[in-house]
Copies of this chain bind each other. A is one copy, B any other.
């Protein structure tokens, strides 16, 4: 046992997150070594495109590492910190308390709370970032907070830490942003003008336009019409505007659409029914039931458009957003109070898969935060429908033990080739290399166990590790 003692300098053990078993670790080390330095393919994520387009320096350690990171904020909140104390600003309506504005105060709260992250992936990611990216040599604590703050601030003041420079440093071959379906992709145009158009790609996200019962729908629709330059006051016009914008995204290099919604229903409506619901939505009289049916219908329609234009359809269902509505009203959406619910895929996706599951130009990647569906529904679906790829374990499941459980649950039915390989999903840009590194370590550990149990030969494991880290993500998004 070679645990870092807390008195010595803070360093990263080269074998971290590899299996301890002495019959497995040497194999895992060999497999990991073969993938460690491969380029990063980051085809799904939420880093703001402006970071790359503007290439401005990051403001301070708190705004870079704490405030925008859901995982950090929710854990500190769970032990009693108000999220405003962590720098999360209330909405303009002013219902919430004022946010902490001193970045050093925010940073101190985070460092004092460091023990809360024991056993979490945040611990691994932050540790990797602080040590490897910023050269920190002390474990975070109340006592070390200021020194670490100064070290990180010093680093980000260096031009070598600007976003575009980090793209190189992080070996990111390609990265996708997530963009609203009504975006004119102005920032992506600037990137293209600077020769980065093939390295930073947009992703088409139409959620707000498909949720006809939501208060924000009408405004989103108007933005869509303005961007597409078409009349969206009718159902056919609305579909046409979506097509126009999908084409704009595809022309700008987009490879995928992204769909986050509560259910995975995909039952199409008749044209007449769809027109009726759309008209009711325009009138503001749509029922919750009709809105839900329309969402399922539009998921089917989006699949139909994907079968035409080849954009890969990413589906992320099963999260109840803004569980605490008072908090969301005070601070805005997506502040960490998003909670998963049980999700059904087998029946829900049947209409979509019967129509497009064997279509040669259609591809869908399925993500979930409901582990129960891995062996029961998702692996059997991905293991037979050629259009289906199984996405990497998502969000709460993007962690060492959960990633291992994912492989153990799906591989025996779906194999490796029906999975997407690793897909990170973060707005914490600096964590991206750490996330890919962790996934490569966990996959190496899983493959090494198969080798040590004589269920796989070493040459196969090495080849498969390369697939999971690099080739499969490229294939899944057809970027190869």
Contacts of A449 in B (CB 8 A): 20
Known: A371-B375, A386-B77. A412 touches B454 (CB 8 A): no
| Chain B residue, CB-CB nearest to A73 | B384
Q: How far is the CA of A119 from the CA of B320 in the complex (A)?
A: 34
**A460 interface hit (Cβ, 8 Å):** yes
Residues of B within 8 A of A23 (CB): 1, 20-22, 25
Interface residues on A, range: 35 or more
Name which of A61-69, A110-118, A170-178, A236-244 contacts chain B: A110-118
A323 CA to B411 CA, complexed, in Å: 21
Does A464 sit within 8 A of B, measured CB to CB?
Answer: yes
Whether the Cβ atoms of A26 and B5 lie closer than 8 Å is: no
Q: Tell me the A80-132 residues at the B interface (CB within 8 Å).
A: 80, 115-121, 123-124
Q: Are A386 and B323 within 8 A (Cβ)?
A: no
Question: Is A402 touching B375 in the complex (CB atoms < 8 A)?
Answer: yes
Interface residues of A in 422-480 (CB under 8 A from B): 449-461, 463-464
Interface-central residue, A5, A79, A323, by most chain B CB under 10 Å = A323
* B340 and A354 contacting across the interface, CB-CB below 8 Å: no
- Is the beta-carbon distance between A75 and B415 smaller than 8 angstroms? yes
In the complex, chain B residues whose CB is within 8 Å of the CB of A358: 324, 327
Contact B386 A78 (CB under 8 A): yes
> With a CB–CB cut-off of 8 A, which chain B residues contact A116?
415, 417
Instruction: Give every chain B residue within 8 A of A26 (Cβ-Cβ).
Output: 1
Interface status of A47 (Cβ within 8 A of chain B): no
* A455 contacts across to B, CB distance below 8 A: 16-17, 119, 123-124, 400
How far apart sit A181 and B71, CA to CA, in the bound complex (Å)?
40
One of B1, B326, B379, B418 near A354 (C-beta < 8 A): B326
Cβ–Cβ < 8 Å partners of A401 in chain B = 408-409, 411-412
Question: Do residues B347 and A344 form an inter-chain contact, with CB atoms below 8 A?
Answer: no
Chain B residues near A120 (CB-CB < 8 A): 411-413, 415
**Measured between C-beta atoms, what is the minimum distance from A334 to chain B in Å?**
12
Interface membership of A51, Cβ < 8 A: no
Please indicate the chain B residues that have their CB under 8 angstroms from the CB of A377 in the complex. 339-341
Interface residues of A (CB under 8 A from B): 1-6, 13, 15-27, 74-75, 77-80, 115-121, 123-124, 139, 320, 323-327, 336-342, 344, 346-347, 350, 353-354, 357-358, 369-372, 375-377, 379-386, 388, 396-397, 399-402, 405, 407-409, 411-418, 449-461, 463-464
**Closest 10 interchain pairs by CB?**
A20-B452, A16-B454, A399-B412, A3-B458, A13-B454, A119-B411, A20-B23, A74-B384, A401-B408, A339-B346
Cross-chain pairs A/B with CB under 8 angstroms, 23 sampled: A1-B26, A5-B457, A6-B459, A19-B453, A20-B24, A20-B452, A23-B25, A77-B386, A78-B418, A116-B415, A119-B456, A123-B455, A123-B456, A139-B457, A323-B354, A338-B380, A339-B381, A340-B376, A341-B347, A370-B376, A375-B396, A396-B413, A399-B412
